[in-house]
Amino acid sequence: MAHAPLRTLVDERIFPDDAIQNLGLPSIIYQRVSGYRVNSLSGYSRLENPRFQFNIYSRLVDDLRTIFDAMLAALEAATTFTAVPDDSPWDDYDPVVDIYRRVVTIGFWNDERV
């Protein structure tokens, strides 16, 4: 992960699908939730639009916004794809484990020709 502000906040605790237990907070977990390939009468255009759900976890509610903003900045800085949030994030709290969570779905545009 090359984006320094995000790395400062979550170190290397960014995981696909599931987090390693007891690794620490804050962390980000992401998974592909849907998507499609753009086709035409000529066939597959090599454009793809997958959607990923990102879950940001922290013990402090104020950290959710800071980590979310840094994550968006890191995604916007990418040069091989374009990231577009599909909706506004929503937050929740689990009192059993005392953890806050922010959830957002982000669509990506990827051109496999590049």
Instruction: Render pLDDT for 61-70 as a digit per residue (tens, 0 to 9).
Output: 999 999 999 9
How far apart CA 83 and CA 50 sit, in angstroms, is 10
Which residues is 92 bridged to in the sheet?
A: 101
Q: Tell me if 68 sits within 8 A of 105, measured CB to CB.
A: no
E-only strand ranges, the chain: 14-16, 27-40, 43-58, 82-85, 90-94, 99-111
Two tokens, residue 61: 């509610």
Q: Residue 102: name the closest of 61, 42, 74 by CA.
A: 61
- pLDDT tens string, the chain, 114 residues long: the values are 468 999 999 998 999 998 777 778 999 999 999 998 888 888 888 888 999 999 999 999 999 999 999 999 999 999 889 999 988 999 999 999 999 999 999 999 988 766
pTM of the model: 0.87
How far apart CA 31 and CA 97 sit, in angstroms, is 22
Q: Which amino acid is at 87?
A: D
Q: For the domain with range 4-111, which CATH number is right: 3.10.20.600, 1.10.1530.10, 2.70.70.10, 3.30.2000.30?
A: 3.30.2000.30
Cβ neighbours of residue 97 closer than 8 Å, sequence gap 6 or more = none
